[in-house]
Structure 1
Amino acid sequence: MKKLVVLMALAVFIVSFTDKEQTKIQEKLFEKEVNELLAKMTLEEKVAQMRMFHANKGIELDENDKLVLSDDVKKRLRNGIAGIKNPGEHYSPERSAILNNQLQKYIIENNRLGIPTFFVTESYNGVDAEGCTRFERPIALAASWDKALVKKVYDVMGREARLRGLHLTHSPVADIARDPRFGRMGEGFGEDTHLTTEMIVSAVTGIQGDFDGLKSTHIGAVTKHFAGYAQVLGGKNFAAMEISPRTLIDEIFPPFKAAVQRANTLGIMASHADINGVASHANPWLLTEVLRNQWGFEGYTVSDANDIGRLHYFMKVAETPEAEVEMALKAGMDVDLYADDAYALLPKMVEKDPELEKYIDRSVKHVLRTKFILGLFDNPYTTAEDAKTITRNEKAKEFAHHADLQSIILLKNENKVLPIQQGKVKRIALVGPVLGKETEEYFNEVAGDRFSFVAEKGYNLTDGKMAIPSLTPEADCKAGIEKIIQSAGNSDLVLLFAGGDEYTSKEAFFNGALGDRDNIDPVSYQDELLLELKKLGKPVVVVYKHRRTLSINTFAEHADAIIDCWELSEFGDKAAAKILFGDAVPSGKLPVTVPRSIGQIPFHYSQKEINYKKSYLFSDFTPLYPFGFGLSYATFNYSTPVLSDTTLTMDGKITVSVDIKNTGEVTAKEVVQLYIKDLYGSVTRPNKEMKAFDKISLKPGETKTVSFEITPEMLAFTGLDMTKKAEKGAFDVMIGTSSADNQSVRFYLQ
């Protein structure tokens, strides 16, 4: 009774603090529990809390929904385990919950101290498991430029994952995606540091339920790949990464730092790559000095798949498996994902070098703390019935559709061919190699009796082999083009579904799988297909689907209109139909710069100013489409920006305001973008950098004033002395509809 009174008094005391202060106090309470539990653990039990294996080792349900474990799995669970990846991923949400409840119960009852386990998933476009809502991919979400929307999407993911008995996700990706050769480009939020940072904060806070949800309703985010993985040389998975210290600090680190300090991410996953020769999984400066000492990260770190072992046999920075383990452990790597040739060696290594146990204790504390924050010691189970009734419910599906509508980008609209007008057009041809199986059904649903359709895919881009797909042979492409032309002949307008798919842009796994490209032109005669369709003498609109940026020069020149969809949700074609038929107004903006040629790479808008001094012989150096670009069915007029003051002090702030008027005939949304250019610095400076944005809705004729606050912190960069700070001088602030279309005013930092 006395203990209960003390706890109640402590609860009242905690409530008097802010949410952030409450979180810190709660974590300090766990410190006591963690230390007490750690003191009871054997070395083998500690090491077990530093390892994770995949459920494909033998975890399933029988026909009566009873847990079945292989002997291998039972052996792995003798001393408990840090986590298990993807248990129940191929089952329905209800059966996954049934499996994970039984699995958790088995683990708790069969390790000496009853330590629960966290179950882990991935969440690129929804929870990576059967029966969950499938949202659009992150780069498509970034095209919405809507922070609240992104947070809500990830909130749904967090809830659906927890309902099926999962606790963590190896997502989101905070890498800056600037190289379209890279097969994993679509996993990130685009090329810009500020946009990615804001999307990451929204994603992490959403999936974690603003951290409070971690106790029962949401899951923990494991932000990755720390740091800079998308900058790999040649755009190739597993390649080296050469990047200047300034670029690393000013452009690559900020999304990760924000995930830690603003969003309180529960975990961090290290990068496959190195940083200027130092393997990320064995980098104490990265994993301890920067992440923990400078940023104050208190969560746990996890390796990417098998990467501790790869320090020896792939990275070749450790001469023996034992050396790789010591390097990773001392650097600050807490959990070994999958490997049986890395942290599994620790018990024998400690016999020879007892000093290693203090590093083991450090890592185990981080893992146990994570489990306490997730509420696994008090609430380790989920409710199967809730998983069945709530997951992928009507509200979630409708929200996935809503997110699609906010993300589609109108790239071209010659002669206002869009929206497609009833009366002028009756019969529409749906054609092309990325035409979906349900496209015609969705278009009929949206169109009603306004239009009729004929559909012909013609051919596939590849043979559909997941590991190493082959392009469709020329003869088959040409035959497919003929079928498409014949099908489209009697239509009034052609919708060409073109671009790429899950086979032409994907992750290149370590053994025997490829996903990167050395060419970014559309594959399999898609340019030729468009040109043949144009010969029919009727409007051709490209419905552009893809996971990586492509050099769509032919599309841009010859299509009458283009809507850029990236990769939308499971209801993406329904959203595309609404945009095309004018039932919704496009409001997406490009989260990347679109190059004309692969030879322009690197080609992000925020390159140093000196990079724009010279063009190339025989070609146009400008982008095909600039970062931040996107048209609308409305038009917008921007006033000249107005500053509250032309002088900014080191401890002050100023405001810049602009009026935006909808001069069109429909209610529409516009993304107002603010860029800043530092005219002179102690080191060469970017041409411009986005520092703020706001998505607003305007009725026809309506005017709104949008204001942004400018602070010295926004102007800071890593200068000549490698100190990050703002330098006095002149700055241009630019506000407009894209990185290439804006108006500027000047202010001075004193």
Structure 2
Amino acid sequence: GVEAGAMSLMTAHNELNGIPCHSNEWLMQDILREEWKFPGFVVSDWMDIEHIYDVHATAENIKEAFYQSIVAGMDMHMHGIYWNEMVVELVKEGRISESRIDESVRRILDIKFRLGLFEQPFADEQESMRIRLNDEHRATALEAARNGIVLLKNAGLLPLDASKYKKILVTGINADDMNILGDWSAVQKEENVITILEGLRQMAPDTKFDFVDQGWDPRNMDPKKVAEAAIHAKSADLNIVVAGEYMMRFRWAERTGGEDTDRSDIDLVGLQNELIQKVAASGKPTILILVNGRQLGVEWAAEHLPAIVEAWEPGMYGGQAVAEILYGKVNPSAKLAVTIPRSIGQTQMIYNHKPSQYFHPYVVKPSTPLWSFGYGLSYTTYAYGDMQLSASEIKKDGELKVSFNVTNTGNRAGVEIVQLYIRDKYSNVTRPVKELKDFARIALNPGEKKEVTFTITPDKLAFYDKKMNWGVEAGEYVVMVGPSSEDKSLLNETFTVN
């Protein structure tokens, strides 16, 4: 953010309290410049200054929209066909002063000078090609995929035994597609992307992978191809369905995920659920792999399938990483950074909800999510114990150390992401039932135990009170540690702030 030294900031598409963000003087001047002391420049989002006129309707024409945005604090237009001409007109008309233009120009030129763009205005194309996709970057892409894939369910099926499953059906819209690159990605050379099908074939070269292509478009799946997959599933030793959403930008209008693709539900689009159910009806073990950028309601799969993997948008080596996890070369360690609800009606199913959120529980369906924030399985098991606080009381400006032991109780090396949550037990304004305040990745060999210590500082306890003052409140606090936000998995102790 600003404190870290960011020198450019983009305003949002939306409005705030009835004022479009791109013409919001309170945001750009009062908060950004005056309160935060931001020294850099503000840039618009794509055509959003024009949207002050043609979407928000708080300006009568584009020229008036330009005027409102500039006087509110905008420095640079990302893209605008009439921007230069109309801004010059506004200056000549005396509506915008040259000194106001100079302010923005000075901020922009300052950054350009700092970046050395006047000394070296053009990129070195050969150097760029040398840097792009170099070995270090490739290794980072693979490591990121390995560390980001979440094992959601495993009823003893994973990791796969390559000697046991010699014929495997692979099907689904994301089984053999660059869609694993995710939103904001361009089509790449095939040699630079390992799809999930390719990753499986590399990982288990002696296994016959029977691929039934379902195409890339979930909205136009062919029922005949779904039926074909169901038939092939019966003769397979194991089935893998790779489902989810479609995000590639070069097919902008056909996407079901990514920027500007709001959904009215969180179900799998098209015939994907039907495909999963028909393949699973074969009676053979069936694994679901999800490729998507947001939570999907896969309640049927969660109840009926033995294994589910959330791959998210794993990138160029996503197929290799998925295969390595399925076959146990990599022990999954990732945890959910979001709560996954059961259905659209549970959209507010968040871990850091207020105490009254479920005073009246949902009727018919459970008042619990499909998977909780911070949740994620491993091929080993961990035990938490010996939680201790360095003090039972601290001052408002004091610190407190929380220590506990984590033991790998399984037979495989692994990495556990330990999490620390805090709750203000009684407060002058309602506070969440828990908030994540720290976490750490702890590598453990089989049988190994390590002590973990977190430090609770005032910034981890502070909040805005009823008078909107930021600070630490006196009273009793609950500190919790464990593998996820689920109450049943957390150790807890209390301390008092005086």
2:303 alignment counterpart? 557
2:88 alignment counterpart? 347
Distance (whole Å) between structure 1 residues aligned to residue 168 and residue 494 of structure 2: 51
Per-residue CA deviations over 1:577-613 (Å, capped at 9, x if unaligned) read 0000011000111111011110122222112121121
Distance (whole Å) between structure 2 residues aligned to residue 729 and residue 342 of structure 1: 55
Amino acid at match of 2:246: D
CA shift, 1:285, in A, is: 1.6
Distance (whole Å) between structure 2 residues aligned to residue 534 and residue 320 of structure 1: 57
1:24 alignment counterpart? none
Task: Decide which of 468, 474, 477 is 1:722's aligned counterpart.
Answer: 468
CA shift, 1:296, in A, is: 2.2
CA shift, 1:659, in A, is: 0.7
SS at structure 1 position matched to 2:279: helix
Per-residue CA deviations over 1:647-667 (Å, capped at 9, x if unaligned) read 121221111111100011111
Contact residue 458 and residue 483 of structure 1 kept, 8 A = no
Matched, 1:424 2:424: no
Per-residue CA deviations over 1:686-712 (Å, capped at 9, x if unaligned) read 121111111111111111111111112
TM-score (normalizing by structure 1) = 0.61
- Larger proportion of helix: 1
Per-residue CA deviations over 1:451-510 (Å, capped at 9, x if unaligned) read 332111234444xxxxxxxx226xx2x3111111222222211111112221211333xx
SS at structure 2 position matched to 1:281: helix
SS at structure 2 position matched to 1:578: helix
C-alpha change, 1:321 and 1:529, in structure 2 (3 Å) is closer
SS at structure 2 position matched to 1:307: coil
Task: Decide which of 259, 273, 276 is 1:527's aligned counterpart.
Answer: 273
Q: How does 1:364-513 map to 2 (within 5 A)?
A: 364-414=105-155, 416-437=156-177, 438-449=195-206, 451-462=207-218, 471-472=219-220, 476=222, 478-502=223-247, 503-508=255-260
Distance (whole Å) between structure 2 residues aligned to residue 542 and residue 727 of structure 1: 47
Contact residue 71 and residue 96 of structure 2 kept, 8 A = no
Distance (whole Å) between structure 2 residues aligned to residue 542 and residue 274 of structure 1: 39
Task: Decide which of 272, 277, 287 is 2:18's aligned counterpart.
Answer: 277
Task: Decide which of 49, 59, 69 is 1:328's aligned counterpart.
Answer: 69
Per-residue CA deviations over 1:83-117 (Å, capped at 9, x if unaligned) read xxxxxxxxxxxxxxxxxxxxxxxxxxxxxxxxxxx
Matched, 1:541 2:290: no
CA shift, 1:539, in A, is: 0.7
Distance (whole Å) between structure 2 residues aligned to residue 559 and residue 538 of structure 1: 10
Matched, 1:647 2:399: no
1:608 alignment counterpart? 354
Contact residue 198 and residue 319 of structure 2 kept, 8 A = no
Per-residue CA deviations over 1:293-313 (Å, capped at 9, x if unaligned) read 222221111001111122122
Per-residue CA deviations over 1:404-451 (Å, capped at 9, x if unaligned) read 11111010001x1000013332222212222114433322212233x3
Matched, 1:744 2:492: yes
1:580 alignment counterpart? 326
Distance (whole Å) between structure 1 residues aligned to residue 387 and residue 171 of structure 2: 45
TM-score (normalizing by structure 2) = 0.91
Contact residue 196 and residue 322 of structure 2 kept, 8 A = no
C-alpha change, 1:653 and 1:404, in structure 2 (3 Å) is same
Amino acid at match of 2:231: Q
Per-residue CA deviations over 1:182-223 (Å, capped at 9, x if unaligned) read xxxxxxxxxxxxxxxxxxxxxxxxxxxxxxxxxxxxxxxxxx
CA shift, 1:379, in A, is: 2.5
Distance (whole Å) between structure 2 residues aligned to residue 626 and residue 734 of structure 1: 15
SS at structure 1 position matched to 2:220: coil
Contact residue 349 and residue 368 of structure 2 kept, 8 A = no
Distance (whole Å) between structure 2 residues aligned to residue 733 and residue 627 of structure 1: 17
Contact residue 162 and residue 204 of structure 2 kept, 8 A = no
Identity %: 35
Contact residue 427 and residue 453 of structure 1 kept, 8 A = yes
Distance (whole Å) between structure 2 residues aligned to residue 402 and residue 747 of structure 1: 39
Q: Which runs of 5+ in 1 are unaligned?
A: 1-258, 463-470, 509-514
Contact residue 461 and residue 523 of structure 1 kept, 8 A = no
Distance (whole Å) between structure 2 residues aligned to residue 431 and residue 408 of structure 1: 19
SS at structure 1 position matched to 2:159: coil
2:186 alignment counterpart? none
Matched, 1:595 2:324: no
- Range with greater deviation from structure 2 (695-704 or 608-617): 608-617
Contact residue 176 and residue 198 of structure 2 kept, 8 A = no
2:2 alignment counterpart? 260
C-alpha change, 1:682 and 1:458, in structure 2 (3 Å) is same
Distance (whole Å) between structure 2 residues aligned to residue 378 and residue 532 of structure 1: 63
Per-residue CA deviations over 1:351-408 (Å, capped at 9, x if unaligned) read 2326622221111111011101111122223323222223112332222111111111
Contact residue 309 and residue 342 of structure 1 kept, 8 A = no
Amino acid at match of 2:301: F
1:634 alignment counterpart? 380
Q: Which runs of 5+ in 2 are unaligned?
A: 178-194, 248-254
SS at structure 2 position matched to 1:372: helix
C-alpha change, 1:337 and 1:390, in structure 2 (3 Å) is closer
CA shift, 1:680, in A, is: 1.6
SS at structure 1 position matched to 2:429: coil
Amino acid at match of 2:118: F
Amino acid at match of 1:443: L
